[in-house]
């Protein structure tokens, strides 16, 4: 397809940035993280928005800042409280990293965030995108943060045919935007790109007729369907995991729960014992094996309660839930809890579903308070 514009393939017209920034000033949605430029607020918002949609992120953002209004208050909170407040937002490593980074900041600088991309990137959980976003939005640094929305928009503007997840392609797009930005402040441009990507330049159905910068978009002016960019490799199927879960009750009708290791998937959250069902193993056999491996208990009589299904972003899971009686030894990271106490602990979404199943079933219920 020929380039019908008179500009070099990767360069963007000089009117692009002021037009988009003007549009953003008029159209920006009143989101809670846009009310001030407090670096801590911007940091929390950027971390949340990494893997959570804007509409879902808003209540979590407000709840998090209500609970931890400053870096110092976050650093002083126990991790368990931070995970509980984060519960439901998913990707718990983000909350753990925020907490660790807050403690580092308090120890090093009284809780002040660094101003440069290089220093920000050294904080736990702050990657290439977040460091640029915080530096540009909070400190006016000349940095271009590009996440999925920004990459899509930039790929369409420049008619980029490469895979935007590749570092070389990412760098090319960043360079093109940087040149278009010139000496202007990066923050408003960066936010305007994100807003365009979230509200107009949608992945499958871009609203080009309503786009304020369609004049600058090569995908729009040169292709029949701008939505073909960015090119996407065929999606991989999410693996499916089958696992067994055992809900143990003691004589006081309390449930036995244990805390996952603080690193890794769902780190630091509380759950019932259990684990993956091996090949050629029944769900009951897996439940008994896991129970023995994790608690040392043997020969527990188990009753099936039901099956819970849950989809995480990278895999789906079906949990075969069993109930039984038994009392493993007390150890750190293990607790006996009532239903009310469990509700106050940070737990994975799938465990919430197990609790709902138990409350509907006639077996396995714990006392309420
Ligand atoms: S013209 Fe269409 S494809 Fe191009 S930036 Fe605007 S909405 Fe996106």
Q: Find all residues with CB under 8 Å of 90, minimum gap 6, and list them.
A: 51, 52, 312, 313, 349
pLDDT of residue 363: 58
Residues with CB under 6 A from ligand 1: 153, 156-157, 200-201, 206-208, 211, 213-214, 217, 219-220, 226
DSSP annotation of 219: H
Mean pLDDT value of segment 169-181: 94
Residues 35-55: what's their mean pLDDT? 92
pLDDT at 158: 96
Q: Record the tokens describing residue 362, joined without a space.
A: 């006639």
Distance 57 CA to ligand 1 centre (A): 25
**Rounded to the nearest whole angstrom, what is the distance from the C-alpha of residue 191 to the centroid of ligand 1?**
16
More confidently predicted of 5 and 131: 131
Structure tokens at 22: 């003007």
- Give the confidence band of 5 by pLDDT, cuts at 50, 70, 90: very low
Query: Quick one: average pLDDT of 226-239?
Result: 88
**pLDDT computed for residue 1 by the predictor:** 42
Residue nearest to atom 4 of ligand 1 (CA): 217
For the purposes of burial, counting CB atoms within 10 Å of the CB of 78, is it exposed (0-12), middle (13-18) or buried (19 or more)? exposed
Condensed to tens digits (0 to 9), the pLDDT of residues 76-115 reads: 999 999 999 999 898 899 999 999 999 999 999 999 999 9
pLDDT above 50: residue 27 = yes
Please report, for the chain, the start and end positions of each structural domain, with discontinuous segments joined by +: 16-228, 240-360
- Ligand 1 pocket test, pick from 201, 210, 221, 228 with the greatest ligand atom count within 8 Å of Cβ, gives 201
274-294 pLDDT, tens per residue?
999 999 999 999 999 999 999
pLDDT band at 364 (very low <50, low <70, confident <90, very high): low
Q: Same CATH topology for 16-228 and 240-360?
A: no
What share of the chain has pLDDT > 90, as a percent? 82
Question: Is residue 72's pLDDT more than 60?
Answer: yes
Q: Are 263 and 307 in contact (CB under 8 A)?
A: no
Given a cut of 50, is residue 4 above it in pLDDT? no
Q: Which fold has domain 240-360?
A: Nucleoside Triphosphate Pyrophosphohydrolase (3.90.79)
Question: Which residues pair with residue 244 across a beta bridge?
Answer: 275, 320
Which of 214, 227, 228 gets mutated to test ligand 1 (max ligand atoms within 8 A of its CB)?
A: 214
Multiple choice CATH, 16-228, 1.10.340.30, 1.10.3720.10, 3.20.20.70, 3.10.20.600:
1.10.340.30
């Amino acid at each position: 397809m020929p380039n019908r514009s008179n500009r070099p393939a990767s360069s963007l017209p000089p009117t692009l940035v002021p037009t988009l920034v003007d549009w953003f000033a008029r159209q920006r949605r009143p989101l809670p993280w846009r009310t001030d430029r407090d670096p801590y607020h911007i940091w929390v918002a950027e971390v949340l928005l990494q893997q959570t949609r804007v509409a879902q992120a808003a209540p979590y953002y407000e709840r998090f800042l209500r609970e931890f209004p400053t870096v110092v208050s976050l650093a002083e909170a126990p991790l368990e409280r931070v995970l509980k407040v984060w519960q439901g937002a998913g990707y718990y490593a983000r909350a753990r990293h925020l907490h660790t980074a807050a403690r580092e900041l308090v120890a090093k600088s009284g809780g002040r965030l660094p101003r440069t991309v290089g220093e920000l990137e050294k904080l736990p959980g702050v990657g290439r995108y977040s460091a640029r976003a915080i530096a540009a939005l909070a400190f006016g640094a000349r940095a271009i943060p590009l996440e999925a929305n920004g990459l899509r928009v930039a790929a369409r503007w420049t008619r980029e045919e490469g895979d935007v997840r590749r570092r070389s392609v990412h760098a090319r797009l960043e360079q093109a935007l940087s040149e278009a930005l010139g000496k202007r402040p990066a923050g408003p441009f960066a936010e305007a790109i994100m807003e365009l990507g979230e509200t107009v330049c949608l992945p499958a159905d871009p609203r080009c007729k309503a786009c304020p910068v369609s004049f600058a978009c090569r995908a729009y002016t040169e292709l029949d369907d701008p939505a073909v960019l960015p090119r996407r490799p065929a999606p991989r199927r999410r693996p499916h995991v089958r696992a067994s879960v055992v809900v143990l009750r003691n004589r006081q009708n309390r449930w036995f729960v244990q805390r996952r290791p603080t690193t890794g998937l769902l780190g630091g959250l509380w759950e019932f014992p259990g684990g993956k069902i091996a090949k050629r193993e029944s769900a009951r056999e897996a439940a008994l094996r896991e129970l023995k491996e994790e608690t040392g208990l043997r020969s527990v009589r188990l009753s099936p309660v039901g099956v819970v299904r849950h989809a995480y972003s990278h895999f789906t899971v079906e949990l075969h839930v069993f109930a039984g009686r038994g009392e493993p030894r007390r150890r750190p990271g293990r607790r006996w809890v009532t239903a009310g106490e469990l509700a106050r602990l940070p737990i994975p979404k799938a465990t919430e579903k197990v609790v709902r199943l138990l409350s509907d079933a006639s077996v396995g219920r714990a006392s309420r308070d």
